[in-house]
Amino acid sequence: MNEHTILLPNNPQGNGHDASYKLTVLVPKRRYFSYLRERWWVVLVCLVLSLSAVIAYETLRDDTFNSYARLYVTTGGHLGGSIFNEINFDFATQIELLKSARLRGAALQDLGPRGAQLKKAINVDVVRPMSTAILQLRATGSDPGLTQTFLQALITNYLAFKKETRVSTAEDLVSLLNDQLSVREKELTTEREKWVEYQRTNDLAVLEQEAKSAGSYLADLHLELAKLEMKEDLLKKGLTRLPDSLSGTNGARALQTTATNDFAGQSATNGPTFSVRDTDIKNTRVALAIAIGRRAELLSQFSQTHPAIRTVNSEIDRLTNTLAILERQSAEQQRLDLAEVQEQIAAIETALPAVNERVAAANDRLTESRRRKNDLDFQQTRYDSSISMRQNVDLSKSLAQERISVLEVPSIALPSERDLPLRIVLAAAGGIFVGLGLVFGWYLADDRFVSVNDVKDQFGEGVLGLVPEIKVPRAQPREALLQTGDRRTGYAESFRHLRSALLLSTLGGSRPHTLLVTGAGSIEGKSTVAVNLARVLALSGLRVALVDADTHTTGLGKMLVADGKPGVLDFLRGEAESAAVMHATDVPGLTLVPAGTHADQAEGALLRPQLGQLITEIKTNRDFVIIDAAPILRTDDTALLVPYADTVVVVVRPFFSRSRLVRRVLEMLYQRQAKQITFVLNRARKDDIAGYYAHNGLGKVSSNGNGTSVEA
C-alpha cells in the first residue's frame, strides 16, 4: 500500500498560490513484532487450546494393545510370461487382501463368542518395510489376548485362501492352455489350407518371372521415351537431324541407339553432331567463300569483262544455287525426321498404360502371396509357442508351490506407547504456529498504527511527543487533567516533553505560537492532549489561551466545567464581546475560551469574518494559543481554522487510528495550506516512550509504581 505526503517549503509563510508542494511516496513498514506484543493473547489461546485437546485426547481414549507378525515371500520359480502376469506376486494386492472384510470376518468367526464381545474393532496395518520381500502385520485392539488370537486367525485364513486360490488357478490355467492350443491349431490349419489353395492357382516362379519381365519392359519403354523426347527437343532447335539410314519405318531400337550416339557426340565435341548432308552444305559454303575471295582478288587485277572474272562469277552463281537447293532439302528432311520422332513418342505413350497395368497386376499377385505366407508363418509361430509352454512348464509344481511363509508368529500384545511428551511438544509447536499465523493475518488486514515507528515510517511529518496510557473512569473525565504535583510521573513527564519540544524545536523554521489540535476521528484523546499541554505551558509561567473550537461535542467543556459559559459561538453571533468569552481557570496564566452556547446554531459560524478578529485578540499578549478543534474528517469547521494556525497537531492512537484515515487528514490539511503538521501519539506503550525519548536524547527512562518517568 503506497503512502504519500505533501511537503511545504522551508518558508513558514510560504502558503497560498506561491507555495510549492512535493509528493512523496512511502511504503508502510509497520512492525509485526510490535503488533505481536499487543496480540500475544492470541498465541496463548491457541497454545492452551492445542495442549488441552492433546491432554483431553490422551485422558479419554482407551488403552490399546499391539501384536506383531511377519510374513516372508519366497522367491521360488513360478509361472510367468506376458499372458499370465496375474500370477506374479503383487505386494499391494496382498496387503489389501490381508485388510479385506472377508478375511477379517473369517478371523472374527474363529474367535467364537469372544469376538462378539469386542467393544471396538481390531485394526490391522500391513506394511512392506524398505521394499523387501517381507510383510509386517500389526493388530491393534483393546483386549491383548483377543488381539493376538485375531492376528493369528487372520494369517491362517489368509494362507488357506491363497492355497485355495492357487488350486483353482491351476485348474483354470490348464483348461485355458488346452483351449488356447485347440484354437491356435484350428487357425494354423485354416491358414495352411488357404496357402495350398493359392499355390494351386498361382505358380510363384512364373509370377516372379512375369513381374520381372514386365518391369524390365516398362523400364525400357520409359528409357526409350526419355531419349526420343530429348531427340525431339534437339530437332526443334535445329541442332541435329536423323541420318538417311533411320528415315522411314526403321525399328525403335535403331532410333534409340542413334539418339544415344548423337547425344554422346554432342557432349564430347561441346556442339551439334552433323550428318553427311550437313557436310555437303558446309563444303558448298566453303567453296562459295573461296570463289568470292578469288573474284575479289581478280577484280584487283582485271576488269569486269575479263574472261577470268566471268568464269568466277559463273562458278559463284552455280555454288549459290547449289547451296540454296541443299538447304531446302536439309530443312525438309529435318521436318520429316521430327514428324517421325513425334510419331514414335505418341506410340510409346499409348502403350505405357497397358504395360503399367500388367506390372501392377503382377505386383499385386506377388504381394498377396507374401501376405498369405506371412499369415501362415505367424500362426505357426504362435502354435509352436503354445506347444513349447505346455511342454516345458510343470504346472503342478509351479502352482502348488508355497510362496508365502510365516516368518514370525503373532507376538504377545503389549500396550501401545502413548508418546505423551512428544505429542505435547508437537501440540505446543502447532498451537504457537497457528497463533503466530493468526496474528500475522490480522496484522496484514489491519492498517491501524501499532507504534511510533509506524507513524515515522508511513509519513514524512515529525512526531512532537508521546503520551502514555492512563486509566480514567468514563464518568470522571477530569481525572485526565494534570494537577500540580501530579503523582502520575510518566504521564506528567510526557507533557513536559511536549512543552520542551514546542519551546526548543524549530517547527516550520521558528517557534510556533498558535497550535491547532485535531485528529482523524473521535476518542483519540485530542482534547486531553490540548488541555494538558496548555496547563503544563501555563504552569511554566507562560501566558496561554485554550480555545474550544469543537462546537459539536462538549468534551473540553466537561473537563474544565465550562458548559453554559459564553464563548466562540456567542462572539461570532455578536452576542458577546471578546473579553466576555475569555475566562480564567484554576491555573494561573491559562485562559479558556469555551465553545459557547446554542451549539445547534453553529452552522456556518466559523465562516464569519469575526473569527479572524477573535483569534487576533486572543493572541494579543499571549505566548501560546492552543485551539482544540473537531476531528477534521467529521466536520469542515476544522479546515476553516487551519489558516490561523502556525502548526497543526494531529493526535493518533496505537491500535485505533487507521493509516488511510490519517492520510486523508494530511491531504485535507495540505489542501487548506497548513504551514506545519506534526503528530502526537496518545496512549503509547511504555517501551515506545522509552525508545522514543532515548533515541532523541531527552533522558533515560525509569519506572516506579505509578508509571514511567523520564529523568532529565
Q: Are residues 582 and 465 in the same domain?
A: yes
Same domain, 212 and 343: yes
Tell me, yes or no, whether 640 and 704 share the same domain.
Answer: yes
Q: Residue 639's domain is classified under what CATH number?
A: 3.40.50.300
What domain count does the chain have? Answer: 4
Q: Are the beta carbons of 554 and 600 closer than 8 angstroms?
A: no
Amino acid 546: pLDDT? 92
Distance CA 90, CA 94 (A): 6
The answer to whether residue 242 is domain-embedded is yes
Whether residue 26 contacts residue 663, with contact meaning beta carbons closer than 8 Å, is answered with no
Q: Judge if 373 and 509 occupy the same domain.
A: no
pLDDT given at position 692: 64
Q: Are residues 122 and 252 in the same domain?
A: no
Q: Which CA distances in Å does 221 have to 218, 232, 673?
A: 5, 16, 106
**Within a domain: 332:** yes
How many CB atoms lie under 10 A from the CB of residue 208?
14
361 confidence band (pLDDT: 50, 70, 90): confident
588 domain residue, yes or no: yes
Q: Is the domain of 221 the same as that of 144?
A: no
Same-domain check for residues 423 and 375: no
Q: Give the residue among 624, 638, 699, 701 at the shortest CA–CA distance from 674.
A: 638
Specify the DSSP element, H or E, that contains 703: strand 700-704
Looking up residue 135, the CATH number of its domain turns out to be 3.30.70.1130
Report if residue 198 sits inside a domain: no
Structural domain contains residue 191: no
Rounded to an integer, the average pLDDT of 149-156 is 91
What is the pLDDT, as a whole number, of residue 3?
45
Residue 342 lies in a domain: yes
CA dist., res. 677 & res. 464, Å (int): 10
Q: For residue 425, give its domain range.
A: 40-56+419-444
- CB atoms < 10 A from the CB of 551, how many? 24
Query: What's the confidence (pLDDT) of residue 705?
Result: 34
Residues near 554 by Cβ (< 8 Å), separated by ≥ 6? 563, 595
How large is the average pLDDT for residues 318-347?
86
* DSSP line for 18-87: G---EEEEE-----HHHHHHHSHHHHHHHHHHHHHHHHHHHHHSPP-EEEEEEEEE--------GGGGGG
pLDDT at residue 649 in the model: 92
Q: Kindly state whether residue 196 falls inside one of the protein's structural domains.
A: no
Does residue 426 share a domain with residue 329? no
Residue 610, domain member (yes or no): yes
Q: What is the pLDDT of residues 509-562, one digit of tens each?
A: 678 889 999 988 888 888 889 999 999 999 889 999 999 888 777 667 777 776
Distance CA 134, CA 404 (A): 10
280 and 410, same domain (yes or no) = no
- For residue 532, the one-letter residue type is N
Residue 499 and residue 432 share a domain = no
- 302 and 153, same domain (yes or no): no
Residues 227 and 354 in one domain: yes
Residue with cell 520409359: 222
Instruction: Tell me what pLDDT residue 554 has.
Output: 66
Q: Residues 244-283: pLDDT tens digits?
A: 444 443 444 443 443 334 433 433 333 444 444 678 888 8
Contact 629, 641 (CB under 8 A): yes
**Range 578-592 average pLDDT:** 88
Residue 17 banded pLDDT, cuts 50, 70, 90? very low
Q: How many CA atoms lie within 13 A of 159 on its CB side?
A: 15
